Amino acid sequence: MKKIITTVAVTALLSSTAVFSVQQSSVVQSDIDAFQGHFKKRFPELSLNDFSKGPYAMSEDKMSQFEALMEMPPFEDHVEKGGKLWKTAFKNGKTYSSCFSGDDETIRTQYPRWDVAKGKVVSLEKALLDCRVKNGEKKIGSGKGKLAWISAYLTTIAEGQTINVIVPEGDEKALAAYNAGKKFFYAKRGQLNLSCANCHVDNPGRRIRGNTLSPALGQVTHFPVWRGKWAKKKGDGFGTIQRRYGGCNKQVRAQPFKRQKDAYSNLEYFHTIMSNGMEISGTEYRE
């Protein structure tokens, strides 16, 4: 069943089960309206949720190929493994769900979120990693493998849920983190002197290195994603969005940042907020 999240679970200072309505920063809402308006004007034939399909939504031929592949996706067994890991008890008897509030299918849309007590943005993957440590388990990789499988399972069961990530009105620290992510998104870097926006705001739909550039709007709706390129190299094609950020930085010949640190977490915060109002499309394939 598709549900619309209209409330935001506030972490740390609040109990694990309490959910309160929090008002979006008016500054941020203006950014969202302008950002989404840009893409709607450029691609007037697409609905808001169409953007979740990226370049496939821009070509009937590519869409038909995508739909054929998704009839028997190559990642189903990994999503099932993620589901089993999510439900398997730690040595202390607790499971991952003990670290989260709300129904399992709503967890994906609660992240990334501003953690008041920690004073920083926390992604879903970071919350999963912290949950393991909290329950006495060993650390695992932060960009692929088991972490990506679990996160992909949560993305899969969240299909149809609506993204509603909040920068609380009046919270200057949260707004500063959001603005840091925004600055990163628009800042040029690397030997190629390109920003995230140069490719995914200015040039979506155009070809580069044999691929079609996707619009930034909707990119977060299907992560972790299964990429054919990753599968060819390692066999396991899953990767988190912060793994993808690192790959993008390498492509413009810039030094990637460490995953689950402020730079990429703030970027993910801004990036996700720009797709507020869109539905999670579930785990998907990309080239």
How far apart CA 169 and CA 167 sit, in angstroms, is 6
For residues 203-223, one letter each, b for 16 or more C-beta atoms within 10 angstroms of the residue's C-beta and e for the rest, the string is ebeeeeeeebbbbbbbbbbbb
- Look at strands 120-122 and 207-208 and give their pairing: unpaired
How far from 281 is each of 53, 169, 202, 273, CA to CA, in Å?
A: 8, 28, 24, 16
Tokens of 124: 């879903």
Residues 6 or more apart whose CB falls under 8 angstroms from that of 103 comprise none
Q: Is 220 labeled as catalytic in the residue annotation?
A: no
The amino acid at residue 196 is C
Enumerate the known binding-site residues for substrate: 244
Enumerate the known binding-site residues: 99, 131, 196, 199-200, 244, 248
Check 32, 85, 248, 252 and give the catalytic one: 248
Enumerate the known binding-site residues for heme c: 99, 131, 196, 199-200, 248
- List active site positions: 248
